[in-house]
């Protein structure tokens, strides 16, 4: 069985000559070249009004405290972590990340931390911001 000649051999090139593969088309992005992008639109930042309430508890729901929180079997770890943060602000679990479904007490625990920190560390400022 003999091998069929390569295209280079059919054109008279010696059998030992190497042939180059034809380059394939690739996108500019794959070749590492920059593609032109339209300029990004700059959006104005929303205005944040200063709170008129001078209370350190501004923004915290008055009933969202540790005393009012009912820890179930699925929220015991989150409750313990929130208590640790309230006992040692900026020390334990820093940063604290709470993740869970709707209605499981994430907001309640965050407000409870704020209330507890303000009671145990007078003069501390607490800012509660939602996304």
- Given pLDDT bands bounded at 50, 70 and 90, which one contains residue 75? very high
* pLDDT, position 55: 72
pLDDT tens digits along 62-72: 999 999 999 98
Beta-carbon count within 10 A of 60 CB: 20
* Helices assigned H by DSSP within the chain: 7-10, 76-87, 106-120
Task: Please state the domain extents for the chain.
Answer: 55-131
- Specify the residue for token string 């088309």: 25
C-alpha span between 17 and 5 (Å, rounded) = 12
More confident residue, 1 or 54: 54
* pLDDT, position 12: 59
Angle between helical axes of 106-120 and 76-87 (0-180°, round to 10): 20
What is the Cα 61 distance to its own chain's centre?
26
pLDDT tens digits along 115-131: 999 999 888 888 887 77
Q: Are 64 and 108 in contact (CB under 8 A)?
A: yes
> Quick check: pTM over 0.75?
no
Q: Please, what's the b/e burial string for 89-119 (b: 16 or more CB within 10 A of its CB; e: otherwise)?
A: beeeeeeeebeeeeeebbebbbbbbbbbbbe
């Amino acid at each position: 069985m003999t091998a069929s000649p390569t295209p280079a051999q059919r054109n008279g090139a010696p059998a030992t000559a190497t042939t180059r593969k034809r380059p394939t088309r690739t996108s500019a992005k794959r070749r590492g070249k920059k593609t032109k992008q339209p300029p990004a639109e700059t959006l104005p930042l929303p205005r944040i009004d200063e709170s008129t309430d001078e209370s350190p508890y501004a923004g915290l729901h008055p009933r969202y405290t540790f005393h009012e929180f009912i820890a179930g079997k699925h929220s015991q770890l989150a409750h313990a972590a929130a208590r640790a943060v309230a006992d040692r602000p900026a020390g334990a679990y820093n940063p604290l990340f709470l993740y869970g479904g709707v209605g499981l007490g994430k907001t309640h625990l965050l407000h409870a931390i704020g209330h507890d920190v303000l009671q145990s560390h007078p003069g501390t400022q607490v800012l509660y911001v939602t996304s």
